[in-house]
Amino acid sequence: MNSANSVYECSIIELDKHHSDRKGNLSVVQSNSVVPFDIKRIYYLYDVPGGESRGGHAHKKLYQLIIAASGSFSVTLDDGKIKRTFFLNHPYQGLYIVPGIWRTLDDFSSGAVCLVLASGKYDETDYIRDYDNFIQYKKTARI
């Protein structure tokens, strides 16, 4: 039951990093190997003004991997009981987020690019955008 998921099911995944002294770095993410889901959609946030916050929602079915492709930002995960904050500032790390977790992104550095790999296409019905509704949704898992 996705509504029962906890923040401890979310974690930082170290991505493959191919390093060349002369030519820089390259990191790879492949479906069902580095990330345990099929990647169906990619989107990215950029030009986020300093002090602005993004996210502020949960998903019912969607799995995601969030990468700071450039710059840095914080991601706070909340399962209705416990909150964990991750600071992302390396393009070779991704934050794996399971469904049923409220997330807030803030502290964007200048020039930050937040790359999101997602397990499904955009579907507004998969979103929970109201925090009180989210808490109600989490309670369904505890009945």
Binding site residues, ligand TYD, CB under 6 A: 41, 43, 45, 54-55, 57, 122
> Residue 101: what residue type?
I
Asked whether the beta carbons of 81 and 48 are under 8 A apart, the reply is no
59 is known as an active-site residue:
no
- Cα 95 to Cα 11, 85, 102, 132, 141, distances in angstroms: 6, 11, 14, 25, 24
**Of 41 and 84, CB closest to ligand TYD:** 41
Please, which residue, 26 or 56, has the CB nearer to ligand TYD? 56
Q: Cβ 57 to ligand TYD, closest distance in Å?
A: 6
Q: How many CB atoms lie within 10 A of CB 20?
A: 8
Active-site choice (19, 57, 59, 90): 57
> Which helix or strand (DSSP H or E) is residue 12 part of?
strand 11-14
d(CA 104, CA 142): 24
CB nearer to ligand TYD: give 25 or 85. Answer: 85
CB 23 → ligand TYD: shortest distance, Å? 32
Question: Least CB distance from residue 3 to ligand TYD, whole Å?
Answer: 20
Residues with catalytic roles: 57
